[in-house]
Amino acid sequence: MTDLYARHKSVLPDWLALYYEDPLEITHGEGRHVWDAAGNKYLDFFGGILTTMTAHALPEVTKAVSEQAGRILHSSTLYLNRPMVELAERIAQLSGIPDARVFFTTSGTEANDTALLLATTYRQSNTILAMRNSYHGRSFSAVGITGNRGWSPTSLSPLQTLYVHGGVRTRGPYAGLSDDEFIAACVDDLKDLLGHTRPPAALIAEPIQGVGGFTSGPDGLYAAFREVLAERGILWIADEVQTGWGRTGDNFWGWQAHGRSGPPDMLTFAKGIGNGSSIGGVVARAEIMNCLDANSISTFGGTQITMAAGLANLTYLLEHDLQGNARRVGGLLIERLRAVAAQVPNVREVRGRGLMLGIELVKPGTDEADPDAASAVLEATRADGLLIGKGGGHNTSALRIAPPLSLTVAEAEEGAAILERALRSLTQ
């Protein structure tokens, strides 16, 4: 046990998860690579949980942060804040939500908390619809709408949460149906559920479930849900904390894969926009955002230094078409991984889109999740110079692959080769 690990265990909670049997201290990074305290170099296919969106030590972001730090770091939302207004203007326009207002927070958890406050106040209801296998954060209210037992330490909640089918395409009672039949069955289930409860405030849903193992329903599912919800005045909150900013390649936001419904009533974001800086937020129609009848501020949400980072990062992302790069390089990567998976009986499914890919592992010849195999691959890839993540609603048996969106074809091939060796080692 390293000295730092021993110190960690002596002062931090037991439930604060760490990867690897011998936990890793990352000391610095550049581009798509990071280094540990022993000087080992790794290709980063997880980006600090999808947070290093463009690149490590991106010069444009580093320069913006340094220059802002030389002026002022922070003043709170009690004062006008030019970088915050500028970033809000850009996000409002990109969101697709008409007459949009933006509120900045410091995390995705806090963003979802805010969206829940707005929805329950606007609708005067504390009932929330959420998806099975979902994850929305660590706070008391966010845990209360999280449909993933591994990340839900209590059933106590200020909300009444009702869980809806549809977040996982290939498991559950509708798995054997065609996409159209699957959507129809989920919609029928939603209608039946709504017939047995008081009117909910909102449905909150990740277009692709992140912690759940990068699972999703068919394209068009949330458009079909939206038609049912809109008839009843129920709001739709798209949790874009992991899917936003072009990561899925095909679209800038995950909700756009369900585009015939138009934009959601609210959109929450975080992670990638700050490229490591603590930025989260909510975008909502003005009538929803302005429904609160009490004062509020944010001490750290929208602080000047994080807004400077977000502006520089977003500018880089758009000017270098990183969404297009995610589509092109991610498409090559998923085909490469599917070719490998076809020869490894431990792999049940390779799924996802863009640079948001999941590999679900099971015990060969069964549908039984194999978290031990996922842990073994995590260790093997680290030993071979690659960092990946894991997740899943079935005992953390899915590998999560989400590199910075500037990933090159050569780096994708390198990472795929390492993953291939690790996956093949499961059969030996």
pLDDT for 152: 83
Task: Provide the residue type at 87 as one letter.
Answer: L
Distance CA 387, CA 121 (A): 42
How do residues 238-294 score in pLDDT, each as one tens digit? 999 999 999 999 999 999 999 777 899 999 999 999 999 999 999 999 999 999 999
Tokens encoding 303: 């602080």
Distance CA 134, CA 17 (A): 19
Q: Is residue 320 within 8 Å of 406, Cβ to Cβ?
A: yes
| C-alpha dist (Å) from residue 426 to 123, 256, 337 | 51, 37, 15
Q: Is residue 104 within 8 Å of 301, Cβ to Cβ?
A: yes
33-36, strands of its sheet edge to edge: 26-30, 33-36, 41-44, 386-387
| For the chain, domain boundaries | 3-57+321-425, 63-319
Helix, coil or strand: residue 157: coil
**CA nearest to 395, candidates 377, 366, 374:** 374
Output DSSP code: residue 165: S
Q: Is residue 274 within 8 Å of 309, Cβ to Cβ?
A: yes
Q: Is residue 245 within 8 Å of 252, Cβ to Cβ?
A: yes
- Written as tens digits, the pLDDT of the chain (428 aa) is 579 999 999 999 999 989 999 999 999 999 999 999 999 999 999 999 999 999 999 999 999 999 999 999 999 999 999 999 999 999 999 999 999 999 999 999 999 999 999 999 999 999 999 999 988 988 888 888 888 887 788 887 889 999 999 999 999 999 999 999 999 999 999 999 999 999 999 999 999 999 999 999 999 999 999 999 999 999 999 999 999 999 999 999 999 999 777 899 999 999 999 999 999 999 999 999 999 999 999 999 999 999 999 999 999 999 999 999 999 999 999 999 999 999 999 999 999 999 999 999 999 999 999 999 999 999 999 999 999 999 987 678 999 999 999 999 999 999 999 999 999 999 98
Which residues fall within 8 angstroms of residue 214, CB to CB, at 6 or more apart? 208, 351, 352, 356, 357, 358, 391, 398, 400
Q: Is residue 92 within 8 Å of 100, Cβ to Cβ?
A: yes
| C-alpha dist (Å) from residue 385 to 350, 382, 414 | 22, 5, 10
Where do the DSSP E strands lie in 251-362?
Answer: 266-269, 280-285, 347-353, 356-361
Distance CA 421, CA 349 (A): 17
246: alpha, beta or left, given left = phi > 0 and alpha = psi -120 to 50? left
Distance CA 131, CA 145 (A): 8
User: Does the domain at residues 3-57+321-425 carry the CATH identifier 3.90.1150.10?
Assistant: yes
Distance CA 371, CA 23 (A): 18
How do residues 215-232 score in pLDDT, each as one tens digit? 999 999 999 999 999 999
Helix, coil or strand: residue 268: strand
105: alpha, beta or left, given left = phi > 0 and alpha = psi -120 to 50? beta
Distance CA 237, CA 234 (A): 10
pLDDT for 1: 53
Element (H, E) at 231: helix 221-231
**CA nearest to 232, candidates 255, 201, 278, 273:** 201
**CA nearest to 20, candidates 377, 361, 347, 414:** 377
| C-alpha dist (Å) from residue 267 to 35, 93, 140, 172, 243 | 35, 13, 20, 27, 11
Would you state the torsion angle of the CA atoms of residues 214, 266, 279, 136, taken in this order, to the nearest 10 degrees? -40
**CA nearest to 306, candidates 71, 85, 68:** 68
Strands 202-205 and 127-131: parallel
| C-alpha dist (Å) from residue 182 to 177, 187, 228, 307, 388 | 5, 9, 16, 41, 31
Question: Do 3-57+321-425 and 63-319 fold alike per CATH?
Answer: no
pTM (two decimals): 0.95
Domain covering 63-319 in this structure, CATH number: 3.40.640.10
